[in-house]
Each structure stands twice: as C-alpha cells, then as structure tokens.
Amino acid sequence: MSYPTTETLRDRAVAALERCGADPAAFGGGAAARSPITGAEVLPVGHASAADADAAIGRAEAAFRVWRTTPAPARGALVRRFGELLREHKSDLADLVTIEVGKSRSEAAGEVQEMIDVCEFAVGLSRQLYGRTMPSERPGHRLMETWHPLGVVGVVTAFNFPVAVWSWNTAVALVCGNTVVWKPSELAPLTALGCHALLARAAAEAGAPADVHQVVLGGAEVGGRLVDDSRVALLSATGSVRMGREVGPRVAARFGRSLLELGGNNAAVVTDSADLDLAVRGVVFAAAGTAGQRCTSLRRLIVHEDVADALVDRVVDAYSKLRIGDPFDDSTLVGPLIGPGAYEAMRGALRRAEEAGGTVLVGGGRRLAETAPGAYYAEPAVVRMPVQAEVVREETFAPILYVLTYSDFDEAVALHNAVPQGLSSSVFTRDQREAERFLAADGSDCGIVNVNIGTSGAEIGGAFGGEKETGGGRESGSDSWRAYMRRATNTVNFSEELPLAQGVSFL
C-alpha cells in the first residue's frame, strides 16, 4: 500500500478549498492544520483572538434582528441552496475530512451525505414549526402557543465528526430563525473553512444576511467567549465529559441554554438466541470503524456465556483481517488515530485492563511506524475481561473492545447500565421479550437503544443524544428543533367580557 506524501495532501486540500470558494492564501498564520495520515502539517491557518470572537458574536446578533422576522419557508430556501452546494462539493469536503481526521473515503463521504440529509430535513421543518391550540376554560377566549427564534447559537464541535454535527445544529438553527457562530475543533479547521465558504455563497444567493453564519478558528480562549457571552442564547457543545462539566455551569450561571453531547461508553448485549453472523458484522463495524473514534463506538461487548467463545473467536478472526492504512485507499477499513495522545491513551488503557485481569486477544500494537513515523495507526484490540473494572467504565477514545460475559438477562442489563455514560446501546437477540425488555423503562438507560444493529451509524431523522454524563442534549431529527426556539403561551380574548381563570372574582 502506497501512502500520499504531505505535499500531495497539501495540494489536494488546497484544490478542494478553492473549489469550495475558500481562499487558502487568506488563512494567515499562527497555527497549522495537520493530517493524521502522515502526522505532518498541511497548511497554515490563522487563529481568532478573543476580540475576534466578540466581534463575530456582535455581527451574528445584528444579523439575527433581520433573520428572525424572515418567514421560516424563506429561511428554508437558504438551507435548501446550501444542501445543493453540498451535493456539488461532496467529494471536496470528503477529501478535507479524510485529510484532517483520517476517516476512510467511505466514512468521509458518508459524513458529508449526513449534512445533505439534515439539510433536506431542515427544509421540510421550515414549514412545520408547529405550535398548539388548547381549549380555554373561559368563554370567548383562545389559548395557544407560538415558537420564536432564540438569537445567536454558538456551536462548538469535536474533531471526530468535524462537519456533520455542525450541520445538525446549523441547518436546524437557521430555519428556526437563529444565527450561528461556529468554533470548530482545532484539529479540523480546513473542513470548517470549506463549509463556511459554501454556506456564505448560499446566503448570498438566497438573499440572506451576510453575517447569518460566522466561523472563528481558535482554542479554549475563543470557545470560552461563546460560553460566557450573554449574547449567545444557546451553546451547543460536543466534546468530553470534562469539557461539559466546565461549560454547563458557566452557561447556566448567566441563565443561558446549553445543549451538551459528551462522552459515550457504549455496549452491545449479545444473547444466546442471537444471529451470530449479524452480531459479528454489527460489532466489528461499531467497534473498529473510524478507528474507534466515534462517540457511539462500541466499547463493551456483553455476551451470554453459552455463545461467548464462538462469538469472540469470530470477532477476533475478523479483527485480524482488518485492512489498516491509508484512508484514501478504497480497500482500507481502519485509518489512523488522530494523534500520539490517542495512541498513548489506548496503550495506557490496555495496561490497566491487563492489571485488572484482562487478556488482550488481538491488536493493541502500532502499524506503519516506519512508513509514516509521524502517524499513529493502531491495531483495534479485543480484551476479554473477568469483571467490569474501572478502566472498562471509562471512555478511551480508541479502538478497544472489552468483552464481558453474563448468564441471566437481568445481569446483562445491570452490567450495561453500570457506567456513568448513557449514549448508545444495542441488543442482538431473536427473542422478542428480550428485545422489548431492553427497550423498556427498566432496560437500557441510554438515549439511543437499538435492536439487532450496532451502536453507531445513527440516522438524522431521530433525535441524537444521551443521558447521564453524556449530557442529556438532543440534536438533528424528531422534535429537537424545540431546543433552538423559545415558547410563548398566548391567550386571545375575542369576547366583550373579561372573565378570570379559575373562577377568580376581582372588582
């Protein structure tokens, strides 16, 4: 397998950005976009200062005063045009995702498709921002609710889905009448600049305010301005539990709203009645796909003791055949980790697992250190654990799959729920009673609960998010749009009398 040089990656990134309408020469300096494919710098990028972030919020606030009174279907026209441009530039944005994050071509293209899909969803939503009319207890009165835009929405995204999660928030926020200030991951500035250029073009063509969307590149200082500025009505932040513990109270202290998508420690229960062919396919993609760097990646496999050996043998065999390497090669299934810190965290977790009595059955090593010395290609690991030790209860953002066994379904559910996180879960079973139990109130305690599919690969039509330390936020589909709007309860008196509610008499 041949590997692209850093120069090749740079040329490819510049070409993609230019086709999207972003000017690479205008990036400035002070920082650099790196590629985990080679571990080297690809392009210089400029970082915003705290003052730049303040100014961006101010421009978005001014644009909001125009945008909030624009009819919702007209707001949908902007998102429709943006979706069309995403279709035209799907390959360009997929290139940028692969260069900056190391996703395989298939997964990178899938992420851009997710953006296109959520734009279609949001365009339909622009004609469905429904309120309710309720019966009034007073004659000649009408009781109803209406929904209004919030204001400026701050969006802070993580590296692993550098564009999809932003689009979930932005497409919905825009049709709801908000403006957006985006602080992308420091590890993925190029994808952000490409997306922003396309959205700016869509805004110009749709006649929307030029400042309806702002992007600010930078680190914690820039993100902190979005957290603390009272002009940011809603802050949607994706990242670690540690980040959420800091961000949530600060936003709450100024009585702002926050939407948090934090850690996941996702598990699949495989029962003795499961279709093992189906389970193997679901487990391997969920655990090894994206090099284990999805918030919905499968990290714990809870298997009935009667089928554990057979299932584990098949998973280990599949792992030994995974194609690891250059994500631009169509045959590659597992690309690089984002950087050395991720690999060090993986090795540390494996050491702790072994100290707790675990046995590494496959993987855990580093590949291609001579071919790409600055990059970290890790072999996805499977670890058989005697108990759910503390290291298993923690999220390690790397391809480690811990295997635990159970004898009774209640035990499996208890093992599943005995972690602080609550994002995604699944059960593989042919027994309808087990499936329904897992979906019930005393079953999985996660925000996403699947039957006979893996934990990753959510569709945009359903609300995405989790419980417990995952933060409780919901994005994308269903009625998650309500998080981006404020509700007003209205009473209209069309009579000539003024009766009071609850039969109160006054005057």
Render 418-439 in DSSP notation, one character per residue.
-SSEESEEEEE-S-HHHHHHHH
Contact at 8 Å (CB) between 478 and 461?
A: yes
pTM assigned to the model: 0.96
CA angle 172, 173, 178 (to 5 degrees): 150
Calculate the dihedral angle through the C-alpha atoms of 434, 437, 443, 446, rounding to the nearest 10 degrees. Answer: 80
Which one, of 360, 348, 437, 366, lies nearest residue 403 by Cα? 360
Contact at 8 Å (CB) between 21 and 56?
A: no
Which one, of 470, 13, 100, 78, lies nearest residue 260 by Cα? 470
- What span, in angstroms and rounded, lies between the C-alpha atoms of 167 and 86? 11
Which H helix or E strand runs over 179?
A: strand 179-183
Within 286-365, strands assigned E span 298-304, 359-362
- What span, in angstroms and rounded, lies between the C-alpha atoms of 64 and 78? 15
- 201 Cα distance to chain centroid: 25
C-alpha distances in angstroms, 17 versus 97, 140, 371, 415? 12, 60, 28, 47
Contact at 8 Å (CB) between 324 and 290?
A: no
Token pair, residue 194, equals 């490409």
Please list, in sequence order, all residues whose beta carbon lies within 8 angstroms of the beta carbon of residue 13, skipping any fewer than 6 positions away.
24, 33, 42, 43, 95, 96, 99, 190
Residues with pLDDT less than 50, the chain? none
C-alpha distances in angstroms, 146 versus 143, 345, 488, 491? 10, 48, 5, 11
pLDDT of residue 192: 97
- What span, in angstroms and rounded, lies between the C-alpha atoms of 345 and 322? 21
Show which residues are catalytic: 261
Q: Which domains does the chain have, with CATH numbers?
A: 49-262+471-488 (3.40.605.10), 266-461 (3.40.309.10)
C-alpha distances in angstroms, 196 versus 21, 184, 224, 351? 9, 11, 21, 42
Contact at 8 Å (CB) between 171 and 79?
A: yes
Sign of CA dihedral 192, 193, 198, 201: positive
pLDDT of residue 27: 65
